[in-house]
Chain A
Amino acid sequence: MRTSLLAWENSKYLRWALMLGVASILLYVSQMGGAQPPNGGTWQGYVLGTVGALLIVWLSVLGVRKRRYASNLGTVQGWTSAHVYLGAMLLLVASLHCAAQFGWNVHTLAYALMCIVIVSGFYGLYAYMHLPSRVAENNGGRARPAWLAELAELDAAIHDLAEGSDAELQGIAISALDMTRLGGSTRQQLSARDYSLVQLPGGGRPVANPEQTVVIDHLSRRIPNAQKTSEAELLNELLALFGRRQLILHVLRRDIRLQGLLKVWLLLHIPVTIALLVALLIHIISVFIYW
């Protein structure tokens, strides 16, 4: 029942891609010993180039098919499976087409852009195959909104408790809430580093409070010195709440990181694909003009 996109229909498109690869190699080899060395200008080179260009256009059509929600033209999973295998094979087809003739020109630019798209795609495939189980494991059966809701409840509870405590404790607890950072820039999201701060008593600049450790340490230190039972109880309760908060923030940060890793490659994959299509068009037109 569990069929990954690589295993889709018994890896039908892997077989297609391999056949395409073998055919391309045969075509390439057939150029050997001809009047000119293998290159894009022989009839074999033209065939490989045409196949490559058609592949590129078809591979980018996945973006359209994905949004044709009512389409009956295969399933998106089938398309994605074919996209992966045929996209990988494109690297071979295009390399054989250009026969390693590189230069500082638009032709090589198109090749380079294609390589970036394919390599980012490889990363995407890796992410799609490995990260989802880690996301699920990290979430422990609850989705992000549920964790955020619990965090909000905890924060409200900490607020209420802190209001009944002394000014020092109130300052540290509430500043720890207010200065908790989650998310942030793409880099911060992906690093999952904790940029949270806390304002310690005695003024001065807020200090780093990674994983809520500073406030938790502060609370733990104060408990043995508590003057009254009620104070100790309050501190203990706050400690428990911050402990839970630490855990939730950790889960959320990892979730943000993993979800980010699942998406970030598309920021490269898609725009470079557009650039590739433009470069490809220029490549084809210029080749025909300078025939």
Chain B
Amino acid sequence: MSNSYHIAIIGAGPAGLSAAGRAAEYDAESGASAPSYVLLEGFSIFAKTIQKYQKGKHVMDEPGFLNLRSPVPFTAGKREKILGEWQDSIDTGINIRYDSEVVAIDGERGSFDITLGSGDHIAAEHIVLSIGTQGNPRSLGVAADNESDFVRYTLDDPAEFQGETIVVIGAGDAAIENAIALADYNTVYIVNRRNEFSRAKDGNLNAVLAAINDRKKAFYCHYESTVAGLELPTDSGAAGTITLNTASGEERIECHRIIARLGTVPPRRFVESCGIEIASDSADAVPDVDRHYQSNVPGLYIIGALGGYPLIKQAMNQGYDVVEFIHGKETKPADYPLLQDQFSGLPYVMDAEDVLSLYQTRVPMFRKMNPLAFRELIIESRIIVSVPAAELANQPAAAERTTVFVAADEPLYRHGEFGTTFYTLVEGEVKLQLDEDGEWHKIKPGQFFGEMSLISGRPRQGDAVVSEDAILIETPRRIMVKLMNSNEEVRQGIDRVFIMRALQAAFQPKLKLSELADIADRVTSRQYKAGESLFSEGETGDSLQLIRSGTVMLSRGDSRLVVAQRHSGEMVGQMALMGAALRRDTATAAVRTETLEIQRPEFLAMVNSQPEQVAVLQGELSGLLTKSNKMASQPESARAIGFLMEQGLGEATNALVIDESLCVGCDNCERACAETHDGISRLQREEGASLGQLHIPVACRHCELPHCMKDCPPDAIRRSASGEVFITDSCIGCGNCETNCPYDAIKLSYPAPPKPGLFSWLLFGHGPGPGEEAGFGPADENAIKKAVKCDACLDQAGGPACVRACPTGAAVRLGPEQFVELVEAR
């Protein structure tokens, strides 16, 4: 077999399969006798990530607006159906080489040298890297440790094994969960390198300790042990042996199977070893590629999740396109019609690709982006054109992903609205306030605004008004965050403007922009984890901190009484610069918090330029001191505030709190929730923490910077202008939000069956009655679990049903600004 190819595709996931499929088509056309490409897969199976999905899982084909362009089929359906179709594609002639892990890539375009784990070498003119981001499982590191029937690095179905002796290696959540599931029908040994399970989640930690201590369970743990060697079973069904290095010497265990769950090796190091640059240290940073998916190494292409495209369809389209590009075809990408739609309402006639490059050159920040990232930004953004209010009605109705028309000289958004989008002005002018009824600032083409909501998650501060014939790009938060994480220059640019505007809003300095920029450069950004302190009581300080995101609590005395909470946009520690340098309180981050630390000289420069503002700041400070001293004199209230902060309510914008001195336990809140939300309650009244008579049920708090929105592949989680965070129908049920929510407020659920009407229940006893639980499973085999959470009754005219349905007034919804009122009223 020849080991030299035109194209080597590394990684047989959806992207790699699609690329190989297209390459195979080229071979068929040219009538090549031997394949001109090879698809290299490190494992013995293709599409490893999808193979690992649970049986029968429904795989979605988001985004719906994009068409598939690939010889390999893919439509939404069951995991088995999709994998079966891909297997068929492979069988009809894809040149795939399994168990060929690539360990090194050397050389350059035209003559790459690929080294495999086995020591073999493959020569290729072009390389397509489609290895995804999951990484490969860490191996045991002893002889004969490659995946086999005896040694496994994944566990699909614990019920597959019964009556065996199984050794599970690892101490993380995956290892514990596997070991406990296997222990129902097998003898299980779990091997932990350390002397405790410190990496595991609380629930798993308790479960594994309970299992180890349970004398009736055949569940044993070897602490401080490593794997020294393996002896494979002589024939199938027989037992093999594993040798452990334990604290008390070597130990041999006869076993039928070894499940190694040692985590994965992230692909980053390998990617960088190929010479590919990743600009940012951020964990989600993606390598830069050009419009043809080519990385900084000529001839080395990156597609799919590794390039920042986690959805299957996008990845498959890229696989097709990249082979086209390598063959020198200037194919218009599959998303070209989408671009045309985006630009359809522009006041000039121009090819969409040209408009794209024009806009990229017009905005300084975008010039620093690679064209592919910019293209994605435009496709995911809304293009906004302003027209005179009178003409608005004559414009074509906005469809999904076409140009959006707005009325000129009217607010684009108003003060107090929640917004998660970021605006870039391409043409025209925008008038912007930085605070309610504040001074108007002019935004010129090439500049941007909306960075504050992006970074701090706060509602918009002040209005924004567009002039006539303005063109704006409105980009969703998710895309901007991804961009900032992978492009350091963009991040710094946005950050600098954020700091300048935050300083303007807080101190209203009368300084030239260049002077303000100087000050902004001298301000230090600080980050604190929940529980970390910014400064402590009794220290002397010479700076104040302006909170850019998160919440800080101020506490006093040995008992740490919480006397005040400060939120994004507010300051802490200003006493040091406006009164006595001795810190009277300890400032602690209640949740993950970012601040801007401003030292005395910068502070003075700003306030001296605007002496009237000094009185305002002093007035605010006195008000705050009065409040915190009052709080300090009410230890009960202070403790209650401390409790609310401890429960993470500092980052809430709209939280459900139950007053237990009024709650009669009727559960009408849960019923009202279920009845107004497709039969599934999004709150659990009884669960959650209590202190005194305050109870925080498990329900969404609509966080300032929602954790759930962080990592949603189809971008299904949105925030409305009035602040409600909700999940749209495009949810694919991946469960990322459920994992990311620290408050357990999201669960995956099958849709509930429709309920009978009141009378057919009352008279004929059909189905569950009003407010009764339906007790349901999947309606049919195509039903899939989707994420459900509280939407704060966004579409209910009267507001949250839970509150409206409470007969005794025990249930209230509130934001942090009402906490003091809540605890003092008691």
Chain A residues at the B interface, C-beta cutoff of 8 Å: 1-5, 8, 66-67, 69-72, 75-77, 79-80, 127-128, 131-133, 135-136, 139, 141-145, 160, 259, 262
Contacts and interface: CB of A to CB of B under 8 A. Distances in A.
Contacts, number: 99
Interface hub of B668, B693, B805 (most chain A Cβ within 10 A):
B805
A1 B637 CA distance: 14
A132 to B, nearest CB: 5
Nearest 6 CB-CB pairings of A with B: A136-B660, A69-B675, A143-B686, A141-B690, A72-B798, A69-B672
14 contacts: A3-B809, A5-B808, A67-B771, A69-B671, A69-B771, A70-B801, A75-B798, A75-B805, A76-B807, A133-B661, A139-B690, A141-B690, A145-B686, A160-B216
Contacts of B689: 141
Interface string B654-675: 0000011111110010011001
B794 interface: no
Interface bracket on B: 35 or more
B668 A2 contact: no
Given A2-B825, A2-B826, A69-B672, A77 B806 contact: yes
A235 B113 CA distance: 72
Given A2-B825, A143-B687, A132 B801 contact: no
Interface string B678-700: 00000000110111110100000
B810 A132 contact: yes
Contacts of B662: 2, 4, 132
A80 B807 contact: yes
A210 to B, nearest CB: 27
B346 interface: no
Given A66-B807, A143-B687, A132 B661 contact: yes
A133 B692 CA distance: 9
A132 B694 CA distance: 12
Q: Which of A71, A75, A76, A139 has the most CB of B within 10 A?
A: A76
Interface of B: 214-216, 659-665, 668, 671-672, 675-676, 686-687, 689-693, 695, 758, 770-771, 796-798, 801, 803-810, 812, 814, 818, 821-822, 825-826
B671 to A, nearest CB: 7
B660 to A, nearest CB: 4
Contact of B665 (A67, A79, A141, A262): A262
A208 B309 CA distance: 69
A132 B660 contact: yes
A144 B805 CA distance: 23
A144 B807 contact: no
A5 B807 contact: yes
A142 to B, nearest CB: 7
B489 to A, nearest CB: 48
A135 B771 contact: no
Contacts of B807: 5, 66, 76-77, 79-80
Contacts of B661: 2, 132-133, 136
Given A5-B807, A79-B807, 6 more contacts: A2-B825, A75-B798, A132-B660, A136-B660, A136-B661, A142-B690
Contacts of B822: 1-2
A259 to B, nearest CB: 6
Given A70-B796, A128-B664, A160 B690 contact: no
Contact of B693 (A80, A127, A128, A133): A133
A222 B814 CA distance: 56
A144 B687 CA distance: 10
Contacts of B687: 143, 145
Most chain B CB inside 10 Å of its own CB: which residue of A69, A132, A160: A69
Nearest to A77: B809
Given A2-B826, A143-B686, A259-B665, A76 B805 contact: yes
B757 to A, nearest CB: 12
A206 to B, nearest CB: 27
Contacts of B806: 75-77
A105 to B, nearest CB: 32
Given A69-B676, A131-B664, A133-B661, A1 B810 contact: no
A1 B676 contact: no
Contact of A66 (B664, B668, B758): B668
